[in-house]
C-alpha cells in the first residue's frame, strides 16, 4: 500500500473513531500485538500475548 493511500485511510479512521492524539500515536507506530479496543465509550489499549509459533500465521509482509 502506498504511503499516500495509507495516510488517507488513517485520516479517515482517525475521524471516524474520533481518536485522541495518544491513540493515533499507538496506531501510527504499527507495532505487532498492540491494538485499541473500542467498546461503547470505553477505549482500551490491548497488548496481545501470542507465542512465536502463532505469530508465523501473520506473515512478515505487512498484510500484503
**Model confidence pLDDT, tens digit, residues 9-30:** 888 888 888 899 999 898 888 8
Residue 62 has pLDDT above 80, yes or no: no
Say how many domains are in the chain. Answer: 1
Q: How far apart are CA 38 and CA 58, in angstroms?
A: 23
0.75 surpassed by pTM: no
Q: Is residue 61 part of a domain?
A: no
Number of H helices, E strands in the chain: 3, 2
Q: Is residue 51 part of a domain?
A: yes
Q: Is residue 62 part of a domain?
A: no
Q: How far apart are CA 24 and CA 10, in angstroms?
A: 9
pLDDT score for 2: 66
Determine the structural domain holding residue 36 and report its residue range. 3-56
Instruction: Choose the most confident range, by mean pLDDT, from 31-35, 38-42, 54-58.
Output: 38-42
Amino acid at each position: 500500500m502506498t504511503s499516500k493511500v495509507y495516510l488517507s485511510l488513517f485520516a479517515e479512521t482517525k475521524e471516524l473513531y474520533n481518536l485522541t492524539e495518544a491513540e493515533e500515536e499507538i496506531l501510527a507506530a504499527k507495532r505487532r500485538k498492540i491494538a485499541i479496543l473500542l467498546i461503547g465509550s470505553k477505549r482500551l489499549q490491548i497488548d496481545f500475548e501470542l507465542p512465536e509459533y502463532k505469530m508465523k500465521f501473520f506473515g512478515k509482509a505487512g498484510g500484503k
